[in-house]
Amino acid sequence: MANSYVAMVLNDNAMERNSIIGVLKRDFDVRNIISLQSSKDALNSLRKEERVDWIFFDQELPDTDGFSFMGEAKKIAKTERSAFILTANKSDKETLLRAAAAGVNEFVLKPFSPSTLISKLRHVLESADRRTAERLAPVKEHVVSLSFGEVSYKGKLMDISFGGCMIKSELFTRGGMIYDNGNLSLPLDSTVASEHAHFQVEVVRMERNPDYDSSRENFRVGLKFTKASEADLVRLKNFITRLKQGK
């Protein structure tokens, strides 16, 4: 039985477009697929559709560039829960930073194989499951430290769950990219740095903070917990319990 996902594939290259559609049909049993070649038609379709779960779009479109299309698409309220999957010819730092700043959910470097698309879509599904998990906002301010090798950034905890957290941070300019692995120091039950809980994390989302207040901390960074000691997992559980109690 076909599932209820709705997908849009925006790409003027017929071979690439058909490759994506083939994976959606064959490996994810998606039958409601909107296939388009221009951003104008795509935006009109997004305004008409009740919802679109997955939006595949190419960086180079015949009537605009992919990031401009995404910016316009995100102005449509119905795309708030849509996953944006970008296909591009290059993966240089500038392109990846633009993708992260725009809120791209997955980045697919061309040429791509069916197995790559399958892996990326599974990651989208896993990320959606994590976002629907209960996330709790701390009652008071918690300053965190996120490090990538020798480079570290200070940030503020926005919300947290057993699977990960969202922090508000300055833009990563000296190290750290989307999907990189890092180390997070969290003051779960102590303000003393040496007593913080420590988690290995993966950066799964970077986006501009919509509540930008001209401070340096104008980026929201989504982190997935990948590893921690048993003691720190217990501290995380206790911390979340206190948050549920409003403490």
- For residue 111, whether the previous peptide bond is cis, meaning omega lies within 30 degrees of 0, is yes
Cα–Cα distance for residue pair 40/68, rounded to 1 Å: 11
Q: In what order do the strands lie in the sheet with 54-58?
A: 32-36, 6-10, 54-58, 83-88, 106-109
pLDDT at 134: 67
pLDDT in tens, 128-162: 655 555 678 888 889 999 999 889 999 999 999 88
Band of the pLDDT at 1, cuts 50, 70, 90? very low
Q: Which domains does the chain have, with CATH numbers?
A: 6-132 (3.40.50.2300), 143-244 (2.40.10.220)
pLDDT in tens, 10-66: 999 999 999 999 999 999 888 899 999 999 999 999 999 988 999 999 999 999 999
Give yes or no for residue 121 having a pLDDT over 70: yes
Lookup: tokens for 117: 């698309």
pLDDT at 129: 57
Number of H helices, E strands in the chain: 6, 11
pLDDT in tens, 63-90: 999 999 999 999 998 898 899 999 999 9
